[in-house]
Amino acid sequence: MNNKLYGKLIFELSHPGRRAYSLPKDEFGSHELPSAMRRAEDAALPECDEMTVVRHYTNLSENNFGVDNGFYPLGSCTMKYNPPINEEMAALSAFNNIHPLQPLSTVQGALQVEYDLQRALSALTGMADFTLNPCAGAHGELTGLMIIRSYHETRGDSRRNKVIIPDSAHGTNPASAAVCGCEVLEVKSTADGLVDFDDLKQIIADHPDDIAAMMMTNPNTLGLFERDIPAITKLVHDAGGLMYYDGANLNPMLGVARPADMGFDVMHLNLHKTFSTPHGGGGPGSGPVGVREGLEPFLPKPHVVKNGDKFDIEQPERTDSYTVENNHVGPFLGNFLVIVRALSYILSLGKENIKMVGPLSVLNANYIKESLKDDYELPIHGLCKHEFVFNGLKDKSTGVTTMDVAKRLLDYGYHAPTIYFPLLFHEAMMIEPTENESKETLDGFIEVMHNIAKEARENPEIVKGAPHTTPISRVDDVEAAKHPVLTFRQLAAE
Ligand SMILES: *Cc1c(COP(=O)(O)O)cnc(C)c1O
């Protein structure tokens, strides 16, 4: 936008004495504060007229890139379409004007939403029951690991504190294990990106009595289906450990395969990814945890149950025990309005359509992968699931990096894929289109990615200098992280 007022801070638009409102004069008499209570100097607030304020914030909001204004192939984040019907449901005053301490007889409908979602998630995953209390994926992982430790401790097996995690796992997996007081044993990936079964066997042989669990993501972070799951689960179970499933990105499995049927004991889901709650910007999220039959007593309380045709809440016992089943893992019954959105999404798709989520997300990812593999290096060939990883441009002689490609995409109006993750390749570029995109949208992205590869060969400087059309061009990531300038005053003092 070629406008002098655009791209400025609200403070820079300030003029002394400008006001965006006017109160009726004299009608209420004078309301001057006693001078002893007044500040010596006026607060440094911007002084702007109303139109300037409206335009400033509207322009700012339009700088935000969201699923509703463009293609957003951010791998591992599942930036899927968030249907407005979910927002309408979450906006119902019967849902958002209630209080968690209201008498249960007055919130039966809200409890039914929780109960129905517990049942729907159980049906989709094969688990026996779910807690909806954890407020994020990582929070779900921690809760799941606490359930696993509690299970071992209840059996007098409290020595088990080792958690096996593949090197391709999401960073939250080892972090959650560490927070839970466990030690992480990393299992390597093979050249074709799957769990190295021989390495796993060795790890288990080296720790015969103290494996608490193995955490797995399937399809894994490279978008590959782990073929050896039956053998892996048998190995871990025989060693006395439980299998944990990171279901943050359940997309390709929805309606196709169920973690419980694969032998997993405990899992979490990200409602804010797979079940279409808007995310990014840090929340709100929800990371429900499911357990297979037999582990239900270890689910944390409070927990919604159905007695006859009434819904009730099982409360924690508040004993001195620190086991997870006797404690709150989060406030009340989780992020309720995210739970409402997830149920709305599941019910509006229905039993038949939800089965299409998996196949369509897999089709879309493979279509992009196959269309671009002549220009971008594909380190692992074969069918992927809902996402896949390129290792930068195929032609390494141009000097154009994955970062450059990501920045250049912004000039073309596309959000960048996830870059430099997973850590298995130096120039990783992780692409996840999700199931909702039309063929024309995918073709548009493919064309732009081809264009960028061509530019890299013919005019690399234009890619290396990108973005050229955004309000701010390339920022210094390191400087921004080490010396963030977060206030206007600080900026003025520079
Ligand atoms: C996003 C993600 C997580 C973490 O979820 P948060 O809600 O961000 O805590 C864990 N595992 C995988 C595979 C993910 O993609």
Q: In this predicted model, what pLDDT tens digit does every residue of 436-467 receive, in sequence order? A: 999 999 999 999 999 999 999 999 999 999 99
CA–centroid distance, residue 204 to ligand 1 (Å) = 26
Nearest alpha carbon, ligand 1 atom 4: 137
A 10 A CB-CB count for 359 gives 14
pTM over 0.75: yes
A 10 A CB-CB count for 15 gives 10
Give the pLDDT of residue 230: 94
Distance CA 89, CA 387 (A): 30
Q: Which residues line ligand 1 (CB under 6 A)?
A: 76, 136-138, 170, 172, 217, 246, 248-249, 270, 285, 287
Distance CA 257, CA 358 (A): 9
CA–centroid distance, residue 76 to ligand 1 (Å) = 8
Residue among 292, 338, 303 at smallest CA distance from 129: 292
**Dihedrals φ, ψ of 488, to 5°?**
-65, -40
Are residues 344 and 433 both part of a single domain?
no
Nearest alpha carbon, ligand 1 atom 6: 137
Are residues 202 and 305 both part of a single domain?
yes
CA triplet 488, 55, 2: central angle to 5 degrees? 85
Are residues 184 and 320 both part of a single domain?
yes
Are residues 192 and 142 both part of a single domain?
yes
Choosing from 76, 172, 253, 289 the residue with most ligand 1 atoms within 8 A of its CB, the one to mutate for a pocket test is: 172
Nearest alpha carbon, ligand 1 atom 15: 76
- Closest ligand 1 atom to the C-alpha of 140? 9
CA–centroid distance, residue 172 to ligand 1 (Å) = 7
Contact of 318 with 154, CB cutoff 8 Å: no
Structural domain contains residue 140: yes
Q: 3-class SS at 338?
A: helix
Domain end position, chosen among 331, 353, 375? 353
CATH of the domain at 421: 3.90.1150.10
Domain end position, chosen among 334, 353, 372? 353
Name, in order, each residue with C-beta under 8 angstroms of 3's C-beta and a sequence gap of 6 or more.
none
CA–centroid distance, residue 114 to ligand 1 (Å) = 22
Domain end position, chosen among 353, 378, 398? 353
What are the pLDDT digits (tens) for 147-166? 999 999 999 998 999 999 99
Give the pLDDT of residue 493: 43
- Closest ligand 1 atom to the C-alpha of 76? 15
Structural domain contains residue 13: no
CA–centroid distance, residue 149 to ligand 1 (Å) = 21
Are residues 377 and 315 both part of a single domain?
no
What range does the domain containing 425 cover?
A: 356-482
Structural domain contains residue 488: no
Q: What average pLDDT does the structure give for the chain?
A: 92
User: 310: alpha, beta or left, given left = phi > 0 and alpha = psi -120 to 50?
Assistant: beta
Give the pLDDT of residue 9: 86
CA–centroid distance, residue 338 to ligand 1 (Å) = 16
CA–centroid distance, residue 232 to ligand 1 (Å) = 22
Distance CA 145, CA 136 (A): 14
Q: 3-class SS at 141?
A: helix
CA–centroid distance, residue 457 to ligand 1 (Å) = 36
Are residues 345 and 361 both part of a single domain?
no
Give the pLDDT of residue 494: 41
- Residue 311's Cα: distance from chain center in Å? 30
Are residues 240 and 326 both part of a single domain?
yes
Structural domain contains residue 196: yes
Nearest alpha carbon, ligand 1 atom 5: 137
Contact of 287 with 137, CB cutoff 8 Å: yes
Structural domain contains residue 20: no
Structural domain contains residue 89: yes
Nearest alpha carbon, ligand 1 atom 14: 248
Are residues 346 and 365 both part of a single domain?
no
CA–centroid distance, residue 275 to ligand 1 (Å) = 13
CATH of the domain at 200: 3.40.640.10
Choosing from 76, 168, 279 the residue with most ligand 1 atoms within 8 A of its CB, the one to mutate for a pocket test is: 76
Residue among 180, 260, 266 at smallest CA distance from 215: 266
Nearest alpha carbon, ligand 1 atom 3: 137
Reported residue count of the chain is 494
Give the pLDDT of residue 322: 58
Are residues 295 and 389 both part of a single domain?
no
Structural domain contains residue 12: no
Are residues 349 and 245 both part of a single domain?
yes
Are residues 128 and 178 both part of a single domain?
yes
Which stretches of the chain drop beneath a pLDDT of 70?
1-6, 281-283, 318-322, 488-494
Structural domain contains residue 118: yes
Are residues 267 and 361 both part of a single domain?
no
3-state SS, 99-128, equals CCCCCHHHCHHHHHHHHHHHHHHHHHHCCC
Give the pLDDT of residue 490: 47
What's the number of domains the chain is made of?
Answer: 2
- Residue 390's Cα: distance from chain center in Å? 21
Give the pLDDT of residue 249: 92
